[in-house]
Amino acid sequence: MDVRPNQTIYINNLNEKIKKEELKKSLYAIFSQFGQILDIVALTTLKMRGQAFVVFKEIGSASNALRTMQGFPFYDKPMRIGYSKTDSDIVAKLKGTYKERPKKVKPPKPAPGAEEKKDKKKKPTSAENSNPNTQTEQPPNQILFLTNLPEETNEMMLSMLFNQFPGFKEVRLVPNRHDIAFVEFTTELQSNAAKEALQGFKITPTHAMKITFAKK
């Protein structure tokens, strides 16, 4: 029976060996490109293992994600995606069941994080300094340099983001550095296409990825 399109998509056939927190972070990384995500529910009980729900703010985002990511190889297994049969709790709240708490918002982090952000803007790191948003200093080449990555970034997460682009070869993480990585493509045209598409992509709500061409 077909389920009416709604804001929540239901995913199954997920790799059951992946830990819940890593699964949620990886799902966020690949689905946030389709629109604002309100919640991700992944349960590890025996009955619910290998399944997850992703709640979008807009139905259009959910529809686009369902069409685009259907069968996408996620941790070596093709995802099976459909619309959820029932509204998730958070959508029910948004529709007015809980008017006093219309959104599930985490309390803002204390100011130091914000200060850090300001400092970053004032004082770019040497990597950013050497290559501002212009491409004047580093000519286009097949290797991309990623900065401002969150601590939990891993090779699988970045591979899933970049392997949707033709010519993707590999991701190289830097030992003892979680915030930077390199991604190699076959040609500079292919690397440039990925760079344009994913520039500023938010792996987490607070980390917009910065992409430049690597130094040769």
**What pLDDT is stored for residue 101 in this prediction?**
42
Return the pLDDT at 190: 93
Q: Do domains 8-95 and 143-213 have the same CATH topology?
A: yes
Domains of the chain, residue spans: 8-95, 143-213
- Residue 86 tokens, joined: 């029932």
- Of the candidate CATH numbers 3.40.430.10, 3.30.70.330, 3.40.50.1950, 2.40.160.40, the domain formed by 8-95 belongs to 3.30.70.330
Q: Does domain 143-213 have CATH number 3.30.360.10?
A: no
Where are the extended beta strands (E) located within 62-108? 73-74, 77-78, 80-83
pLDDT (0 to 100) of residue 121: 53
Each residue's pLDDT tens digit in the chain (216 positions)? Answer: 567 889 999 999 999 888 888 889 899 989 998 999 999 998 777 777 889 999 999 999 999 999 999 999 888 899 999 998 876 556 655 555 444 444 555 555 555 555 555 555 555 554 444 444 444 458 889 999 999 998 888 888 888 889 888 899 999 988 888 899 999 999 999 999 999 888 888 877 788 899 999 987
Q: Which tokens sit at 202? A: 């938010």
Strand, coil or helix: 107: coil
Tell me what pLDDT residue 156 has: 83
How far apart are alpha carbons 116 and 164 in whole angstroms? 33
pLDDT at 111: 56
By three-state DSSP, how is residue 97 classified? helix
* Alpha helices for 56-183 (secondary structure H): 59-69, 89-92, 111-122, 126-130, 155-162
